[in-house]
């Protein structure tokens, strides 16, 4: 490929010009500050590489939290025709349906801060975190595990862990259709069986936040948000099961690329035709892993509610502990779109990106039709996070928005920068308490390792993809 050529379209968008063998152009959502940070990594080249894949529909996209990933950039969004396009494990990621949810409460900061240390200790004790963490109390047998993989969040509701109302606060009611446990390897099942109800490691977290600022009062009210409210963010996914599924199918598709005559610009973009036997098998396994992640976050929510009940000696219903929304970050979905006046069914890969349906979209539950879909955008552990809502221009990104701040530094660079520092003490000086399974995780997740999430949110809001509803600030967290 020739040297990549980029031009600025407007203050919020860059265009990667189409150069053979690219089949389309690329659009990167980035303001001037974010654009300057892109020169430090190969993520732009990854957008161009994805644009070379067969059956791509429309532009190849990247959200403002873009950074380098496996094959596809993190923050990457691409749609492929289900009739003649591909599906790629690298376009979903290793942590299938890594996602974030917000649990609202009716509690104010002044009610929670006096007991924050006790509450944090209880959450850390009750919710296993860290590399390889398991939850022996919530393990199920292999037969029932198959039900988890097929039914997702509704399995947790059926078992009495969480209320029925939670389902309407999930994308697709917490279940991806087409899950096929038979397409999940024995090794993936072995890794996933003991990990239901666990947080995991890396950038996964559980965070207590205060609603610091209401930007859109009408939408905030509809979402049940108010000033000084305590909310809980949970970020985790499909754990070892999802990682193994991705690994299994990357290798399988690399071996079959010649069969389908797919010329890969990067081996990490291993893929297969969506309608092929390899494509259907991956879809079945990916959907199963996604459903595991939905169930996993539901069980973590069950444990959070139990912990609040222990500390406050009140039922979770009396503390208003409802699920505001659960967003997928790493997922492929079959969706209908309209492109140049024509309806198409596509497989949309969102890797480090959040679905963002606008107001009036009939695919949303009734409670969100007037507001648009909640979009949860966590920042770094030392600053703030945001709650957004899908807006009218979301059609130009296949109804996708940013998913977080996006890394500036690799984990290795972050550890080097944090050497000799006490990250726990630094956070405490900001009135933020933290507990972590590993000091290494804290070092990798220092605030300086991430972009300023306000720049990311300003870009996506300026482009009209989503609008800002509220800002949150952290007061306590559990890190894996």
Candidates 457, 106, 170; CA nearest to 312 is: 106
Distance CA 310, CA 139 (A): 22
Taking a C-beta distance cutoff of 8 angstroms, is the pair 477, 432 a contact?
yes
In which order are the strands placed within the sheet that holds 26-29?
A: 6-10, 13-16, 26-29, 56-67, 74-81, 342-351, 330-339
Phi-psi region of 132 (alpha: psi -120 to 50; beta: other; left: phi over 0): left
Q: Which helix (H) or strand (E) holds 282?
A: helix 277-312
Q: Which residues, including other chains, have CB under 8 Å from residue 47's CB and lie 6 or more apart? A: 16, 26, 28, 60, 61, 62, 66, 73, 76
d(CA 460, CA 12): 8
Give the three-state DSSP class for 332: strand
- Nearest alpha-carbon partner for 376 in 125, 77, 65, 113: 65
Q: Which parts of 136-276 fold into alpha helices (H)?
A: 142-151, 153-158, 186-192, 217-223, 239-256
Instruction: Look up residue 318 and give its DSSP letter.
Output: T
CA dist., res. 361 & res. 147, Å (int)? 30
Query: H helices of 51-152, where?
Result: 109-112, 116-126, 142-151
Contacts of the segment 419-428: beta carbons below 8 A, 24+ positions apart: 419/443, 421/446, 426/382, 427/381, 427/382
Q: How far apart are CA 365 and CA 373, in angstroms?
A: 9
Please identify which residue in the block is written with the tokens 């040297």: 3
Going from the C-alpha of 298 to that of each of 150, 233, 240, 281, the distances in angstroms are: 15, 12, 17, 26
Closest listed residue to residue 445, CA positions, set 204, 227, 116, 94: 204
**Taking a C-beta distance cutoff of 8 angstroms, is the pair 234, 182 a contact?**
no
| Active site (catalytic) residues | 403
């Amino acid at each position: 490929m020739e040297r990549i050529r980029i031009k600025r379209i407007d203050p919020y968008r860059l265009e990667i010009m189409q150069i053979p063998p690219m089949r389309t152009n690329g659009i990167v959502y980035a303001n001037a500050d974010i654009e300057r940070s892109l020169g430090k990594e190969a993520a732009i080249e990854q957008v161009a590489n994805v644009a070379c894949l067969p059956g791509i529909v429309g532009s190849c996209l990247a959200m403002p939290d873009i950074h380098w990933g496996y094959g596809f950039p993190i923050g990457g969004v691409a749609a492929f025709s289900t009739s003649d396009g591909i599906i790629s494990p690298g376009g979903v990621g290793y942590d299938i349906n890594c996602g974030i949810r917000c649990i609202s409460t009716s509690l104010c900061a002044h009610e929670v801060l006096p007991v924050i240390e006790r509450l944090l200790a209880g959450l850390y004790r009750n919710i296993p975190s860290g590399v390889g963490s398991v939850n022996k109390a919530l393990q199920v047998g292999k037969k029932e595990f198959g039900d988890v993989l097929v039914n997702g969040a509704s399995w947790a509701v059926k078992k009495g862990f969480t209320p029925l109302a939670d389902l309407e606060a999930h994308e697709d009611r917490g279940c991806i259709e087409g899950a096929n446990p038979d397409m999940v390897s024995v090794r993936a099942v072995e890794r996933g069986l003991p990990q239901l109800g666990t947080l995991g490691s890396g950038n996964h977290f559980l965070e207590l936040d205060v609603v610091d600022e209401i930007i859109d009062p009408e939408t905030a009210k509809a979402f049940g948000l108010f000033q000084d409210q305590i909310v809980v963010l949970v970020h985790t996914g499909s754990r070892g099961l999802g990682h193994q599924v991705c690994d299994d199918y990357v290798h399988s598709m690399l071996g079959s690329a010649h069969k389908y005559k797919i010329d890969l610009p990067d081996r990490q973009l291993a893929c297969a035709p969506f309608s092929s036997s390899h494509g259907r098998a991956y879809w079945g396994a990916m959907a199963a892993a996604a459903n595991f992640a939905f169930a996993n976050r539901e069980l973590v929510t069950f444990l959070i509610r139990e912990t609040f009940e222990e500390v406050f000696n009140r039922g979770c219903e009396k503390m208003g502990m409802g699920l505001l929304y659960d967003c997928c970050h790493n997922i492929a979905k079959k969706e209908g779109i309209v492109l140049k006046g024509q309806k198409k069914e596509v497989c949309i890969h969102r890797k480090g990106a959040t679905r963002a349906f606008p107001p009036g979209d009939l695919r949303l539950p009734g409670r969100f039709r007037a507001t648009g879909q909640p979009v949860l955008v966590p920042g770094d552990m030392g600053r703030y996070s945001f709650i957004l809502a899908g807006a009218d221009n979301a059609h130009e990104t296949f109804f996708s928005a940013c998913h977080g701040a996006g890394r500036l530094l690799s984990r290795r660079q972050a550890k080097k920068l944090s050497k000799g520092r006490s990250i726990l003490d630094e956070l405490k000086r900001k009135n933020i308490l933290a507990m972590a399974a590993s000091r290494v995780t804290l070092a990798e997740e220092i605030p300086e390792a991430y972009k300023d999430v306000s720049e990311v949110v300003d870009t996506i809001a300026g482009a009209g993809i989503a609008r800002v509803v509220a800002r949150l600030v952290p007061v306590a967290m559990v890190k894996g």
